[in-house]
Amino acid sequence: MVGLEVSGHSGFAEAGGDIVCAAVSALVLSAVQGLRTYCNVEAAVIDAPTSYRLRVPAGGDERAQAVLETAIGGLQAIAASYPRHVLVEDIAQSKRSARTGQASRPKKSAVRTH
């Protein structure tokens, strides 16, 4: 995995009081901090009002991958608890599915892994 992208709003509650969005944000920001602090990786980050992109140069080493996989595991747990509000999607898998005609449609808030 080389990164992740978070987009949209979960719709669980109004912006500013949405625990689902807060949980997703905390995991993503923790991943960025972990990459910087423990992996010495300066990830490329794009932070916009309704989206966030995190990309690790050349995929990073094993420690960087562990940080990303840990964040994705947490995001998948949130998606399992709030399936109407969060979708975790593997972009590489989606591209393979799209080529075979089985593309999935994202819900309101999507977390995509690269």
Residues counted in the chain = 114
Q: Token pair for residue 93?
A: 């898998």
Residue that has been written with the tokens 């490329």 in this structure: 44
| Whole-prediction pTM | 0.80
Residue 113 has pLDDT above 80, yes or no: no
**Domain residue ranges in the chain:** 3-113
Report residue 8 CA to chain centroid gap: 12
Cα–Cα distance between 113 and 68 in angstroms, integer? 9
DSSP 8-38: S---SS-TTS-HHHHHHHHHHHHHHHHHHHH
Average pLDDT of every residue of the chain: 82
pLDDT at 31: 94
The pLDDT of residue 103 is: 45
Name the fold adopted by 3-113. Answer: Alpha-Beta Plaits (3.30.70)
Laid out side by side, the sheet with 51-55 consists of 44-48, 51-55, 3-7, 110-113, 87-90
In which band, very low, low, confident or very high, does the pLDDT at 112 lie, cut at 50, 70 and 90?
Answer: low
pLDDT by residue (tens digit) across 27-81? Answer: 999 999 999 999 999 888 998 888 888 988 876 799 999 999 999 999 999 999 9
Residue 82 and residue 20 in contact, taking contact as beta carbons nearer than 8 Å: yes
